[in-house]
Amino acid sequence: MNHPLWDPISPKNKSEMSDIMQILAKMPIFSDLDSKELKEVEKIIYHRKYKKGEPIFRMGDPGLGMYIIINGAVEIVEEPENGTRTKLAELEKGAFFGDMALLDEKPRSASAIAMVDSDIIGFFRPDFLDLLYRKPRMGIKILWALSRVVGERLRKTDEQLTNLQREMKAKRHE
Amino acid sequence: MNNTSATPTSQLSKTIWRIFLIIMGVAFIFSIFSYVKTVLLMLLIAWLISVILNPLVDYLESIGFNRALAILTIMAIILGGIIALIIGIIPTVIKAVESISATLKSDLISNLTIQLEQFFQEKFNNPDLARDLINKAEQIGGALLVEVAGFLKNAGTYVAFVGIVPIITFFLIKDRRLFKRALISQVPNRYFELFLNVLHKVDSQVTKYIQGQAIDALIVGLLSIIGLFIINLVFDNPVPYFFVIGMIAGVANLIPYLGPYVGAVPAIVLTILNNPDNVGYIIFWIIVVFVLVQLIDNNLVSPMVVSKSVNMHPITVVIAVIIGGNIAGIFGMLFAVPFWGIIKVTMREVSWGLRSYKLK
């Protein structure tokens, strides 16, 4: 599956770690934070358990924030009102999704559904904005890292678009 | 096991059981309300103070303060202010109470003297005289005892308020996020995002509303104090306790439409009691001050600081104030409108959430 929006941005290449703090440390958007700052993030995240087949969010719901898979797997699917269900990506332990919702409340562009029983943590926009106000230095580090992630996704989208244009041109010349 | 396999009969019995539990819960809350009223009032006041102080604590945290230290610093400053205010006001209040009680006592004694004289003149040989006097003395003594008991009871409540409210406030500010997380952890996954989003929106709007009301009350109070102070300067102190009246006007401003009268009436009554020269002229200027304060408030202050999202019809305000007064006396009257504002915002956001989220 190769969708720029839902393609996972690889976590840092660190040794296998188990607890939430270590998983947070591996996330690209928290990669600039020190351990004290990561503890602050730990205070405002939500740890949830989802059963197999349970939706984490639905396409069209207002965007609220991002999720990180601690254990389990999640599928990202397009579910148009009266259309066919299309699987966009399968995400596994350590992957994160929904990060664009940290920036605005635009409706979710796809649904996220647990493929197996999964442990997931959520980091949400209102808490992020509150953190930005209370701890501006730390908030800017997260915002900067988030910009890098969004930039990387944009670059991937650009590459795919360019390739697609090339393919179309080639087909027209044939 | 699939939950949908439950029979319609078992679903009906589950629904009936739920309704029964809800009714029992509501009945239980009503039955214990009178016992927990004081505690609820303390929690409500502590929560309101925490909402007002939270932005200051957040600001201090943003410039490097530890959160607990930031709360303690702000509370110490406020406590210092209150102590200074009490030291400044208490002697004036005691003086006022003494002068009023002296007037009352002299009237009472003179009335009693007249009555006794008439009594002795007309019925000197009446055998019920002694019994009547003893009854009277008993009644007065009983009433005094009831008053003292009432005062002691209230004094205990006030001490509890002064001691406990700051402690609750401290923890409500310090562990605000922990309380929120504990609450949200109980919400099922299906409603998690909806609940979280609606809670944030309600929290944000209610916070803005309460902070706006607090700033508005502060400005109205200050303007009233300044206005009455100028009258006192120009007319040789005709308005006694203008500082207290100004503060009452500020707090009463929490009640739209009715609040301004609550501020103006005591000022006029106390001026009449003070009986200065040109009393009519001074009353005219007091009315001018309160009208000006309201004009400034309605056209400049309120539009800037108070959220327009909680606008209310005057009839709603009157009904809310009456119901609030019935439930919790003067506190109920003061907080009825803000409380109704909070309910209104909550209902609107919940309705938005239910429309926006797919709950399937």
Domain ranges for chain B, please list them. Answer: 38-176, 187-360
Cβ–Cβ contact B17 with A under 8 A: no
pLDDT digits (tens, 9 = 90+) for A79-126: 887 778 889 999 999 899 998 899 988 999 999 999 999 999 999 999
Q: ipTM greater than 0.90, yes or no?
A: no
Rg of chain A on CA atoms, in Å = 17
Predicted local distance difference test score (pLDDT) of residue A15? 45
Tell me the Ramachandran region of residue A48: left when phi exceeds 0, alpha when psi lies from -120 to 50, beta otherwise: beta
Q: What value does the mean pLDDT of chain B take?
A: 77
Flag if A58 and B204 touch (Cβ within 8 Å): no
Predicted local distance difference test score (pLDDT) of residue B117? 57
Flag if A43 and B185 touch (Cβ within 8 Å): no
Residue in the block written with tokens 């938005």: B352
Q: Tell me phi and psi for residue B320, to 5 degrees.
A: -60, -40
Flag if B62 and A124 touch (Cβ within 8 Å): no
Residues 6+ apart with CB under 8 A from B47: B172
Contact A103, A145 (CB under 8 A): no
Q: How far off is chain A from B182, nearest CA to CA, in Å?
A: 10
Flag if A124 and B196 touch (Cβ within 8 Å): yes
Contact B205, A76 (CB under 8 A): no
DSSP state of B207: H
Taking the model in full, what pTM does it have? 0.70
Average confidence (pLDDT) over A24-39: 90
Nearest by CB: A58 against B181, B192, B358: B358
pLDDT digits (tens, 9 = 90+) for B257-315: 777 777 788 788 777 777 677 778 888 888 899 899 988 988 888 777 766 656 677 78
Residue in the block written with tokens 């006794």: B116
For the stretch B290-299, contacts whose Cβ atoms lie closer than 8 Å and that sit 24 or more positions apart, written own/partner, are: B290/B224, B290/B227, B290/B249, B290/B260, B290/B263, B290/B264, B292/B223, B292/B227, B293/B220, B293/B223, B293/B224, B293/B227, B293/B249, B293/B260, B294/B260, B296/B223, B297/B216, B297/B219, B297/B220, B297/B223, B297/B253
Closest-approach residue (CA) in chain B for A120: B189
Q: What dotted CATH number matches A20-173?
A: 2.60.120.10
Pairwise CA distance, residues A6 & A87, whole Å: 11
Closest CA to B297 of B212, B232, B170, B230: B212
Contacts of B56 in chain A (CB under 8 A): none
Q: Examine the pLDDT at A8 and tell me if it is beyond 60.
A: no
Which of B:169-208 have CB within 8 Å of A?
177-178, 181, 184-185, 189, 192-193, 196-197, 200, 204
Closest-approach residue (CA) in chain B for A119: B189
Pairwise CA distance, residues A20 & A36, whole Å: 14
Contact B333, B255 (CB under 8 A): yes
Under the banding of pLDDT at 50, 70 and 90, the label for residue B209 is confident
Nearest by CB: B189 against A50, A126, A134: A50
Flag if A50 and B193 touch (Cβ within 8 Å): no
Predicted local distance difference test score (pLDDT) of residue A151? 92
Flag if B358 and A43 touch (Cβ within 8 Å): no
